[in-house]
Amino acid sequence: MNETLIEQFLQMMSAEKGAAANTLEAYRRDMELFFELCSQQEVGKITKADLSAYVQELSRQAYAPRSICRKISSLREFFKFLYTEKVVKDNLAIYLMPPKREKSLPKFLSDAEVRKMIEIAESSSKPAIRRIGVMLILMYACGLRVSELVGLPENCISFEKKQILVRGKGSKERIIPVADKALNAVSDYYDYRDLFLKGGRRSIWMFPSQSKSGHLTRDAFFKEVKNLAVQAGIEPARVSPHVLRHSFATYLLNHGADLRAVQKTLGHADITTTEIYTHITSEKLMNEVRSKHPLANLKDFSKI
């Protein structure tokens, strides 16, 4: 019964809200975990106490506040669906209070660090590693999410207009300008792309998988990026595909880019999501203070 309700819920989220495949899978995992931990399995008999006990159990199992907040959000959507479909009389999930969470600033790499990893990839004799370099360039040049990057279709770039068409969250499309360096890297990559299509098979993906139909996976890309970080002398824990996206946004804002332009490029629906990057773009400000403030170069403060 519960499995059927979950499937119906996911179908609704896909059809009416255009939820992406990754989002739907996250909802599925959240709902399966809820029914695994909830003592009451009949949805019509679930009480506020049952929901509160579930959230407390998540805390007891040491789930991070961010993760608990997402699971509560999933639960609210699920119970909203149950209430709309008249499976339950009341939407009890609206009373759930998410835990307070500290706002952590996005991690990012310096431009020199990103370039170092790209240079190592480009100098490799292995086509698979050089391809990772191309992907790094595209991600850093366009601020792509890793799911957007690995899922790029072969014909998504207009070399004439110097643009790339990206399908983001909720299947929303956006057009992003592409730098010449990235265009040249992709153009060169197309010369050896067929090496990843053994047996004469064809693929609609820009970065096809070597071992099966479909595209290179996020995990495979993530693994190779970590390897490049090690070779570049960068702590692997500091590096992830999403950190490269953060680095893109940070670099733009540090160099005077308009916040709303960055928002559009990143595909953020709400500008408040983009605004967090303004808290880590202090490099330019600090340089200005150090060079322009009248106290900046005074060595003997007793003269003040």
DSSP 184-242: HHHHHHHTTGGGGSGGG---SBSSB-SSSSSB--HHHHHHHHHHHHHHTT--GGG--HH
* Inter-CA distances, 284 with 71, 109, 262, Å: 38, 16, 17
pLDDT interval class at 302 (50, 70, 90): very low
Cβ–Cβ under 8 Å, residues 247 and 115: no
Residue 277 has pLDDT above 80, yes or no: no
What's the mean pLDDT in 101-122?
A: 78
Could you confirm whether 54 is annotated as catalytic? Answer: no
What's the mean pLDDT in 201-206?
A: 90
Residue 118 has pLDDT above 60, yes or no: yes
The residue ranking higher by pLDDT, 41 or 185, is 185
End-to-end CA distance of the chain: 77
By percentage, how much of the chain surpasses pLDDT 70?
82
In the block, residue with structure tokens 């605004």: 275
pLDDT in tens, 145-190: 888 899 999 999 999 999 999 887 777 888 888 889 999 999 999 9
Residue range 111-286, CATH number: 1.10.443.10
Residue 285 has pLDDT above 60, yes or no: no
Cβ–Cβ under 8 Å, residues 144 and 166: yes
What's the mean pLDDT in 11-21?
A: 86
| From 54, 140, 251, 277, active-site residue | 277
Residue-level pLDDT at 304 = 42
Cβ–Cβ under 8 Å, residues 247 and 108: yes
Residue-level pLDDT at 105 = 52
Could you confirm whether 277 is annotated as catalytic? Answer: yes
Q: Does domain 2-95 have CATH number 3.40.50.720?
A: no
Could you confirm whether 242 is annotated as catalytic? Answer: yes
Residue-level pLDDT at 1 = 73
Could you confirm whether 83 is annotated as catalytic? Answer: no
Structure tokens at 124: 């490799």
Could you confirm whether 192 is annotated as catalytic? Answer: no
| From 145, 193, 215, 246, active-site residue | 145
Residue-level pLDDT at 274 = 62
| From 80, 107, 242, 264, active-site residue | 242
Where do the CATH 1.10.443.10 domains begin and end in the chain?
111-286
| From 71, 193, 245, 246, active-site residue | 245
Where do the CATH 1.10.150.130 domains begin and end in the chain?
2-95
Residue-level pLDDT at 129 = 95
What's the mean pLDDT in 84-101?
A: 81
Residue 215 has pLDDT above 50, yes or no: yes
| From 169, 218, 226, 264, active-site residue | 169
Q: What are phi and psi of 273, to 5 degrees?
A: -65, -35
* Positive or negative torsion for Cα 226, 217, 267, 118: positive
| From 130, 215, 246, 268, active-site residue | 268
Residue-level pLDDT at 162 = 92
The residue ranking higher by pLDDT, 241 or 123, is 123
pLDDT in tens, 107-117: 677 888 888 99
Could you confirm whether 215 is annotated as catalytic? Answer: no
Residue 287 has pLDDT above 60, yes or no: no
pLDDT in tens, 216-236: 998 899 899 899 999 999 888
User: Which of 208, 147, 156 has the alpha carbon at shortest distance from 21?
Assistant: 147
pLDDT interval class at 257 (50, 70, 90): low
Q: What angle do CA 212, 213, 216 make, to 5 degrees?
A: 75
For the chain, what is the mean pLDDT? 82
CB-side neighbour CA atoms (13 Å) of 249: 29
